[in-house]
C-alpha cells in the first residue's frame, strides 16, 4: 500500500458515520421551531448548519453540532425590547421542550442546548441581516445583540479548499484526529483557521494530493509549533475572534517529531505504527502487523476508548504521578521524565489529575497498559478501560521493565471530551 493509499484509507476511516442521524435531528429541531414561530412544518427551511459540520470539516465522533435558526423578520419588534434576548432563548427552549419533553434541553446563552445520546446540538435563534450576517441574542450584562458571520467562514472554507486542490478540508480532518489522539484542547474553528492560514502561507501543496500528505502533515505541525502564543485568532472568512483555550505549540512540536520519524520509516514494517502515533488507531495498521497478531503467545487485552464512546476533545486534562519508595522523598513523574530518568523496581506510583477544565458533571476512566517483551512474556499487557473509583487517582507498582502507558479519559454526556496520557519507563 502506497503512502497515498494509506492516507486515503485513513481519511475514509475518520469520515462521519452517522450523517443520517445528524440530519434527522437537525430536521426535527427545524420543523419544531418552524411550527412555533411560523406555523409551518418544513424540516429544512430557515436553518443554517454551521460549525465544523457546516464547514464540512467534522470527523467521526463529532459531538458538538451547531445550527442557526433564522427567525422571521416580523418577530424582530417582539424581541428587540428590554429582556427580549432572554425571552427569545426561553421561547426557543420552551418550543423544543414541548415537542421533546424527555430530552434534556436548556438555555446556555447565547444558544439553546439540545442533548441527545452521543452528541448535542447548539441552537442559536438569530435574525438575518441584509449583508448575510446574523444578529443573535446575548443575555450577559443585561442583554444585547451580537453579530456572527458563519456564511463568510463557510464560503472561505469552500473557496480555499478548491483553490488548494481539496487539501484544506482534508487537513482540517486529519488535525482533528491528531487532537483527539493526543488530548489537545482546540476548538473546531481554531483548527480550521490555522489550517487555512497555513495553506494560504504556501503554494507547496497547491497541485499536490494524497501522495504528499506525509510532508504536508509534517510541515503543518512545524508551522503550528512555531506560531507565537496568542489569546485569539481572526477566523477564516469572517475575521471574528476565535479564542485559544490552551497552548498547542508544545504538542505540535511533538507531532512534528513524530511525522519526521514516520517519514524516515517510509517503506519499513514500522511506518504505519509511527503514523498511528500521530493520528491514532484510525490510521491503517500494516498488513505484516495484522498477520503477526495471529501468532501472539499473549492475550491482546488492550481496549480502545473510541470503541466505547465518540471522541471529541474540547477541554484540558493533565495527569501526573507521585513516585514513592520507602526511605526516599516522593517525586513527580513528569519532572523525572523531563530529566530523562527511568524508574527502577519497587516503587509505588499514584497517578492523579493535576489539572482539569471540564465543567459540570462527568465520568472519568483510566487505562493502564504494559508494553515490552516482559509484559508479553508474562501475558500481562492489561490495557482494560476501567471507571474511576471517585477519587480521580490510580495506584500502581513498578513491577517489570518496559515503556508502559497510563491514560485518563473524561466522558461528558456520553462523549470523551478530555484525555491525557503519561509514559512510565521502567528499567
**Identical topology for domains 19-144 and 296-426:** no
User: What percentage of the chain exceeds 70 in pLDDT?
Assistant: 97
pLDDT tens sequence across 5-28: 999 999 999 999 999 999 999 999
Backbone angles phi, psi at 132, to 5 degrees: 90, -5
Where does the pLDDT of residue 329 fall: very low under 50, low under 70, confident under 90, or very high at 90 and above?
Answer: confident
For 154, the grid coordinates are 463557510
Burial class (CB in 10 A: 0-12, 13-18, 19+), 261: middle
In this model, does residue 402 exceed pLDDT 50? Answer: yes
In this model, does residue 300 exceed pLDDT 90? Answer: no
Q: What local confidence, expressed as pLDDT, does residue 295 receive?
A: 55
pLDDT tens sequence across 331-374: 898 888 888 888 887 788 999 999 999 999 999 999 999 888 88
In this model, does residue 302 exceed pLDDT 70? Answer: yes
In this model, does residue 294 exceed pLDDT 70? Answer: no
* Average pLDDT of the chain, as a whole number: 93
CA distance 47 to 44: 6
**For residues 113-128, b (16+ Cβ closer than 10 Å) or e, as one string?**
bbebebbbbbbbbbbb
CA distance 101 to 120: 16
| Residue length of the chain | 427
Contact 199, 207 (CB under 8 A): no
Q: Average pLDDT, stretch 167-178?
A: 98
Residue 332: CB atoms within 10 A of its CB come to 13
pLDDT tens sequence across 55-107: 999 999 998 899 999 999 999 999 999 999 999 999 999 999 999 999 999 99
Q: Average pLDDT, stretch 26-42?
A: 96
For 342, the grid coordinates are 527511568
Q: Domain extents for the chain?
A: 19-144, 149-294, 296-426
In this model, does residue 143 exceed pLDDT 70? Answer: yes
Q: Average pLDDT, stretch 161-184?
A: 97
Q: What local confidence, expressed as pLDDT, does residue 287 receive?
A: 67
User: What percentage of the chain exceeds 90 in pLDDT?
Assistant: 79
Q: Average pLDDT, stretch 401-407?
A: 88
In this model, does residue 293 exceed pLDDT 80? Answer: no
pLDDT tens sequence across 183-231: 999 999 999 999 999 999 999 999 999 999 999 999 999 999 999 999 9
Q: What local confidence, expressed as pLDDT, does residue 290 receive?
A: 46
Where does the pLDDT of residue 291 fall: very low under 50, low under 70, confident under 90, or very high at 90 and above?
Answer: very low
Backbone angles phi, psi at 123, to 5 degrees: -100, 125
Task: Write the secondary structure of the chain as one string of H (helix), E (strand) and C (coil).
Answer: CCHHHHHHHHHHHCCCCCHHHHHHHHHHHHHHHHHHHHCCCCCCCCEEEEHHHHHCCCCCCCCEEEEEEECCHHHHHHHCCCCHHHHHHHHHHHHHHHHCCCCEEEEECCEEEEEECCEEEEEEEEEECCCCCEEEEECHHHCEEEEECHHHHHHHHHHHHHHCCCHHHHHHHHHHHHHHHHCCCCCHHHHHHHHHHHHHCCCCCCCCCHHHHHHHHHHHHHHHHCCCCCCEEECCCCCCEEECCCCCHHHHHHHHHHHHHHHHCCCCCCHHHHHHHHHCCCCCCCHHHHHHHCCCCCCCCCCCHHHCCCECCCCCEEEEEEEECCCCCCEEHHHHHHCCCCECCCCEEEEEEEEECCCCCCEEEEEEECCCHHHHHCCCCEEEEEECCCCCEEEEECCCCEEEEEEEEEEECCEEEEEEEEEEEEC
Backbone angles phi, psi at 93, to 5 degrees: -60, -45
In this model, does residue 157 exceed pLDDT 70? Answer: yes
Backbone angles phi, psi at 241, to 5 degrees: -65, 135
The domain over range 296-426 is classified in CATH as 1.25.40: no
Preceding omega of 223 cis (within 30 degrees of 0): no
> What superfamily in CATH does domain 19-144 come from?
Beta Polymerase, domain 2 (3.30.460.10)
pLDDT tens sequence across 304-327: 999 999 999 999 999 999 998 766
Amino acid at each position: 500500500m502506497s503512502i497515498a493509499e494509506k492516507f486515503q484509507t485513513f481519511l475514509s476511516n475518520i469520515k462521519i458515520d452517522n450523517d443520517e442521524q445528524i440530519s434527522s435531528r437537525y430536521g426535527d429541531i427545524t420543523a419544531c421551531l418552524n411550527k412555533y414561530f411560523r406555523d409551518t412544518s418544513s424540516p429544512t427551511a430557515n436553518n443554517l448548519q454551521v460549525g465544523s459540520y457546516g464547514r464540512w470539516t467534522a470527523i467521526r465522533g463529532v459531538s458538538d453540532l451547531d445550527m442557526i435558526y433564522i427567525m422571521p423578520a416580523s418577530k424582530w419588534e417582539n424581541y428587540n425590547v428590554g429582556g427580549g434576548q432572554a425571552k427569545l432563548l426561553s421561547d426557543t427552549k420552551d418550543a423544543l421542550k414541548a415537542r421533546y419533553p424527555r430530552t434534556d434541553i436548556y438555555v446556555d446563552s447565547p444558544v439553546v442546548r439540545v442533548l441527545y445520546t452521543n452528541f448535542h446540538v447548539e441552537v442559536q435563534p438569530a435574525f438575518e441581516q441584509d449583508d448575510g450576517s446574523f444578529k443573535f441574542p446575548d443575555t450577559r450584562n443585561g442583554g444585547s445583540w451580537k453579530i456572527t458571520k458563519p456564511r463568510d467562514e463557510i464560503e472561505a472554507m469552500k473557496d480555499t479548499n478548491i483553490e488548494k486542490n481539496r487539501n484544506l478540508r482534508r487537513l482540517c480532518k486529519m488535525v482533528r484526529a491528531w487532537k483527539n489522539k493526543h488530548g489537545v484542547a482546540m476548538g473546531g474553528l481554531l483548527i480550521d483557521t490555522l489550517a487555512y492560514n497555513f495553506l494560504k502561507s504556501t503554494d507547496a501543496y497547491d497541485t499536490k494530493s494524497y501522495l504528499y500528505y506525509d510532508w504536508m502533515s509534517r510541515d503543518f505541525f512545524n508551522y503550528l509549533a512555531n506560531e507565537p502564543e496568542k489569546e485569539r485568532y481572526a477566523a477564516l472568512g469572517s475575521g471574528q475572534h476565535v479564542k485559544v483555550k490552551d497552548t498547542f505549540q508544545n504538542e505540535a512540536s511533538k507531532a512534528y517529531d513524530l511525522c519526521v520519524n514516520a517519514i524516515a520509516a517510509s517503506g519499513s514494517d514500522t511506518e504505519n505504527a509511527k503514523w498511528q502515533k500521530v493520528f491514532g488507531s484510525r490510521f491503517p495498521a500494516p498488513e505484516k502487523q495484522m498477520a503477526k497478531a495471529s501468532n501472539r503467545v499473549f492475550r491482546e487485552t488492550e481496549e480502545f476508548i473510541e470503541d466505547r464512546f465518540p471522541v471529541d476533545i474540547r477541554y484540558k486534562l493533565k495527569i501526573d504521578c507521585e513516585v514513592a519508595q520507602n526511605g526516599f522523598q516522593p517525586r513527580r513523574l513528569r519532572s523525572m521524565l523531563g530529566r530523562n530518568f527511568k524508574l527502577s523496581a519497587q516503587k509505588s506510583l499514584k497517578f492523579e489529575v493535576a489539572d482539569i477544565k471540564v465543567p459540570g458533571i462527568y465520568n472519568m476512566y483510566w487505562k493502564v497498559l504494559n508494553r515490552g517483551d516482559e509484559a508479553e512474556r508474562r501475558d500481562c499487557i492489561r490495557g482494560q478501560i476501567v471507571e474511576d473509583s471517585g477519587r480521580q487517582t490510580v495506584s500502581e507498582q513498578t513491577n517489570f521493565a518496559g515503556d508502559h502507558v497510563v491514560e485518563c479519559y473524561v466522558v461528558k454526556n456520553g462523549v470523551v471530551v478530555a484525555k491525557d496520557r503519561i509514559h512510565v519507563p521502567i528499567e
